[in-house]
A and B are shown apart, each in its own frame.
Chain A
């Protein structure tokens, strides 16, 4: 395990900042091997690996940078098939179509999980391994970093010339004064944060009249990096928690009607394994009115609003508006407006004149002009066969050609129901769950006229028509709208958001906060410089740091700029910041 004196680095990490910094290394090197037979030492030194050794080796591999990189690449590759093949989670119908179209390849793809990529074994394996790898590499790093947060800047190295940025200058001042000035400069707080010093600074008396200062800044960079990685783990944990505890229900509500928040009320309901249906808050929601607006020229939708009345247990009913992008919070769940359409209110009387069916029937919109399709199933007839009425609702009907009707506007300017009539057995008693929007015509026959052609009924609101074959009558009472709501409850939502933002913040800090070490030494000069002070400075940064050279230059110059010795005119030119030394070809349009 990493000892606190030696920075922990994941296998394979290339990092000049931690490898190339400390000159007085011997102190940190492991103790010389003790005399043979020192208890507890010998077994570790043995070359054989053993099970524990292999495990340790495997762990080291798994938490290495190289494997993390490999797993990241694998994750990227493994995510792609989900966009190439249809997915059961998003569009089961298209998966069925695909299976039908590809009788040989389809089943194989299915077996290998290509239609459920994101819950497949291989995809899960990659991200689970990545998570383990992440945790295994981040925890030790966090421990080391916590220790480093209390540490001091590394001692001034003896030689500066191997550092990526180093400089030299001569001065007439004493080394100590120069170094103290540098230290003061390095300790200067941030302009906006008067209590936070820029660097952590140590001044050393190196003996023989030589003084040096060592400074370090940017612990925040590593902190940000760790926060980022840890937040990713937190994010995964929250997402998984949400998966366990969530529920999601879909319900279609016609104007003037409502529903109660209970599993049975939903058209479809799906829940996490740890969710208990008893915990549903029994609120009721009624759809008072649905409003829609469309662009008059392109007929594209522009605005949808559902005005609802929400009654939470022990509370007064309250009215709210639910819009797309503006869900309503009710009983710990969010209610989203997901769809809308028309639900023609119809009454069917059987041959005896008794009401066999009455109420609104949702028709599902098929296109931009809300040509909607639906089925009226009438199982409860007093005499004769069951009746099925299928057809289309045209909100604004227009007869484009003889017997060819279409809708020209999504709004109900002139609604017409275009229906055909079937009789026989609806098949409701087969035990197989039926799609309410489809008519199973297997055991039914279509009503035909005297010439044997199918009968088509055209019905406007308020009209009553005879059903062919003396089956009874059909009345189109009115045209209320419906709204389709999605309810979702996910208690981990706040956690997901918090960790995502934390990851974002950590990332920004870790990428943009510079981490640097700066050193400056003042030593009595020899040879040519005898009698003066040789000032040297060096800098080291983690990662790319384009300002490093400038920082070293600035540090040197801040020491040299002695207020007591106003620079002669020539000096100004000489001490132009080195970073600006580069000619600017862009400006000079030669």
Chain B
């Protein structure tokens, strides 16, 4: 077996491990959702018994923790300081403080076993994938960021690494499901569709910028993936906290009992902070991608900017994420509305990777498909 084949095998193994992690997170999420839904139904039933006016399911106290567990609402619980001779207390309403029960406490109804499996298989997948990437580099005798298959590997690696770090303290099952869902899909596509044999590259790609520019671009994509996950969750939680739902389908109303589990995740504010931090890191990396790409284009093609489709795609994504940063600080555009920019920006990043490589032809058509 050649080194290249071994690398491929490791990637298959990593994908298997990550699929298990995905399933485990899904089980965890299902358990949490079940518990939350039941609790929410009980709460409705209890109200009915007391003879309160029949409350529509959608009007169940939204956003508040369903059972037990803390104060709920916006401002955090202060340190209980009764017997403290120094009377020490600290309250924070943003940042590291407590938003509400779901912020730091583990979700109610979670399956500790599923979470354990998810965590360990995520780390296992991470290690296997990292080995796969390294061997791929060894097999081709260069940095492994030269074609779509390799982009997929490295991008997934970064996304899973960021996910593992984000989940280290406070597991959010939804984030695990969403991000690993994207990653497993990407790896499957990579192995089944984008795969090419490990090989050296043509002269235009033979440059240290292959490491810097492409490596950073892919890392940014990985970081954006988790930032996107956090933004989606933020929008869901925010919609539920506000009691607004777009859909008319009762079962899919974000305010309905099916989404009662949203009370078990960190507050919209906390998720927004998480999403912002990730997207800010991603944006800085993306800015570097843009600059590095221009420098490389200057070396290789004799112009730093030529509105090549790939350049346009990168530019559009950059502008959308810049708009996101602005929206966050613009009155009337922050919160859930700003999060839509993350969705749009991530869509552009993905389209720039897939559509522009596969459909449009331009100077960047190196992907080897």
Contact = CB atoms under 8 A, between A and B. Distances in A.
A66 to B, nearest CB: 6
Nearest to B300: A325
Given A511-B284, A586-B167, A76 B316 contact: yes
Contacts of B97: 164-165, 549
Contacts of B87: 168-170, 529, 534
B291 A90 contact: no
A501 B295 CA distance: 11
Interface string A555-590: 010001000000000010011001101111110011
A497 B293 CA distance: 12
Interface in A4-63: 12-15
Interface stretch (A97-105, A205-213, A341-349, A540-548): A540-548
Contacts of B106: 583, 585
B343 to A, nearest CB: 13
Interface in A117-159: 117-118
A430 interface: no
B119 interface: yes
Interface residues on A, range: 35 or more
B320 interface: yes
Interface in B276-330: 276-277, 280, 283-284, 287-288, 291, 294-296, 298-309, 312-313, 315-316, 319-320, 322-323, 325-327, 329-330
Interface stretch (A80-88, A311-319, A449-457): A80-88
Contact of A72 (B202, B203, B326): B326
B248 interface: no
A302 B202 contact: yes
A168 B84 CA distance: 11
Given A165-B91, A548-B95, A14 B301 contact: no
Contact of A69 (B85, B94, B169, B327): B327
Contacts of A303: 203, 206
Interface string A318-347: 000001111100000010101000000000
A17 to B, nearest CB: 10
B309 to A, nearest CB: 4
Interface string B41-79: 000000000000000000000000000000000000001
A486 interface: yes
A83 B319 contact: no
A507 interface: yes
B145 to A, nearest CB: 16
B89 interface: yes
B230 to A, nearest CB: 12
A261 to B, nearest CB: 15
A170 B93 contact: no
A203 interface: no
A547 B96 contact: yes
A130 to B, nearest CB: 10
Interface stretch (B149-157, B186-194, B331-339): B331-339
B273 interface: yes
Contacts, number: 225
A501 B291 contact: yes
A92 to B, nearest CB: 14
Contacts of B294: 500
Interface in A471-505: 486, 488, 493, 496-497, 500-501, 503-504
Given A164-B94, A325-B206, A298 B199 contact: yes
A425 B168 CA distance: 79
B309 A83 contact: yes
Interface in B339-369: 348, 356, 360, 362
A448 B96 CA distance: 87
A503 B323 CA distance: 16
B95 A82 contact: no
Given A169-B89, A327-B299, A493-B298, A75 B319 contact: yes
Contact of A301 (B94, B202, B280, B300): B202
B112 interface: yes
B169 A584 contact: yes
A511 B280 contact: yes
A90 B326 contact: no
Contacts of A302: 200, 202-203, 206
Contacts of A511: 280, 283-284, 325
B204 interface: yes
Contact of B95 (A72, A546, A583): A546
B170 interface: yes
B283 A578 contact: no
Central interface residue in A15, A323, A500, A581, by most chain B CB within 10 Å? A500
A272 interface: no
Given A66-B330, A170-B87, A544-B95, A72 B287 contact: no
B109 to A, nearest CB: 13
Nearest to B356: A83
Contacts of A326: 299
Given A72-B326, A336-B300, 13 more contacts: A13-B331, A65-B331, A66-B330, A66-B332, A76-B323, A79-B319, A83-B309, A169-B88, A302-B206, A549-B97, A550-B96, A583-B104, A586-B170
24 contacts: A14-B329, A72-B319, A73-B323, A164-B94, A165-B94, A167-B88, A171-B86, A248-B303, A298-B199, A302-B200, A302-B206, A303-B206, A325-B203, A325-B204, A325-B207, A338-B302, A500-B291, A548-B92, A549-B96, A574-B88, A582-B104, A582-B169, A585-B170, A589-B116
Interface of B: 79, 84-98, 104-106, 112, 115-116, 119, 167-171, 199-200, 202-204, 206-207, 209, 272-273, 276-277, 280, 283-284, 287-288, 291, 294-296, 298-309, 312-313, 315-316, 319-320, 322-323, 325-327, 329-334, 348, 356, 360, 362
